[in-house]
Amino acid sequence: MDRSYWRTVSLVTLWQVSASICYYAVFAATPFFRDEFGLSRFSVGLVVTALTLGYAIWLLPVGALVDRFGEGRTLTLGLVGLAAGVTLVAGAPTYAALLAAVFFLGSLYATAMPGTNKAIYDNVAAGRQNLAIGIKQVGVTAGSGISALLVTGLAGVLFWQAGFVIAAAVGVVVAGCFALWYPQQRDGGRASYPDFRGLSRNRPYRTLVAAGFFLGAALFTTTGYTVLYVEESVGASVAFGGVVLALVQLFGSAGRLVTGWLSDVLPGDPQRRIGAILIVQALASAVLFVVVATTSSPWGAAVAFSALGFFVLGNTGVYYSYMATLVSADEMGGATAGGQLSLVAGSVVAPPAFGYLADTVGYRGSWWLLAAGSVVAAGLLLVAVRLESPVDEPAMRE
């Protein structure tokens, strides 16, 4: 592979790592928010909801801006905005200000998915794009793992906002490097929005998007409550909780790479083959949520959460690969936006529900809620696999 390939992939991955450090710092800091502002577990869930709501609202408008002005400018300004957002979170004087700050931070993270995907598909030749996307997606879990260690580790040495300050500094530096070295692009065409009307007639795609709601609920609620659960229910330190969250992200990265590889090498029709992998991931997640609910020792929690991360965080790549077997290549932009919105919608609704159950009946009921949602997702995916796609030439073919 030539130097141009690795230059593009390295820059985009570095951008993704830096952006994820800023965004996922909020998930690692939930115990500190609770102590600083005297929050209930339900109120902690609203912080995660505000973060992901900002992301959901701005995803489609930002996607149109990426098409209109190009990914280079959008990603550069987006990372500067993320650095500003993480600074606002660290300096929030009240709970209301914290909610506003995390909403702003989530809004700027909306540049990530459309911008980095467009960067790969615009600059990487066909035949190399899947590997490039896989490497770039690992930047999400790598950045969130780094943020977990950064925020929780420095809190015991300095102060809880120290990790946020460093995340902001990294964001500014990487934004400068990205602006300097990313290849210049001409302006795109007229901004446009995805055609959801056409996609709505695709039954297996609609069913997959419905399953995405429950997959997203499991993913974002797990990352949002891991540190708090390990501290409060297992009885470990916040720093150890940060290590556990980092392990969740590490094993999630491994899950994305392993299942992506299996999607390529296993025999059979792509729609059924990749759909079956996603079903197994959802069912395994349900089982491991029940296991996590019964864990009482720190090292047992580390093992259980690591296994959970492999499946619950490792399914996003397969989710989009399966989607590519259901829609045509010229529909992938709109299909991706719809699928991402479904994932984010789950992340908006589930964290407060999880926190409410934790406050009223205990954490076991909360984890069982996520387990039930994963079973529902598996059932919907089973229906999707049994339906025939109306597309003659899907984006992903043998």
Q: What is the pLDDT of residues 154-187, one digit of tens each?
A: 777 788 888 889 999 999 999 988 888 887 655 4
- Helix, strand, coil distribution of the chain in percent, nearest 5: 80, 0, 15
Q: Which residues sit opposite 135 in a β-bridge?
A: none
Closest CA to 193 of 64, 347, 280: 64
Are 68 and 187 contacting, i.e. CB atoms less than 8 angstroms apart? yes
Burial class (CB in 10 A: 0-12, 13-18, 19+), 37: middle
- Give me the pLDDT at residue 194, please: 56
- Give me the pLDDT at residue 291, please: 94
DSSP, collapsed to helix, strand or coil, labels residue 328 as strand
Cα 337 from Cα 250, distance rounded (Å): 26
- Give me the pLDDT at residue 146, please: 86
Cα 298 from Cα 22, distance rounded (Å): 27
Cα 212 from Cα 282, distance rounded (Å): 11
Are 250 and 302 contacting, i.e. CB atoms less than 8 angstroms apart? no
Q: Supply the pTM of this predicted model.
A: 0.75
The conformation of residue 61, written as its DSSP 8-state character, comes to H
- Give me the pLDDT at residue 180, please: 85
Domains of the chain: 1-183 (1.20.1250.20), 194-398 (1.20.1250.20)
Identify the segments of the chain with pLDDT beneath 50: 187-188
- Give me the pLDDT at residue 191, please: 52
Are 114 and 193 contacting, i.e. CB atoms less than 8 angstroms apart? no
- Give me the pLDDT at residue 80, please: 93
Closest CA to 206 of 334, 114, 349: 334
Cα 221 from Cα 207, distance rounded (Å): 22
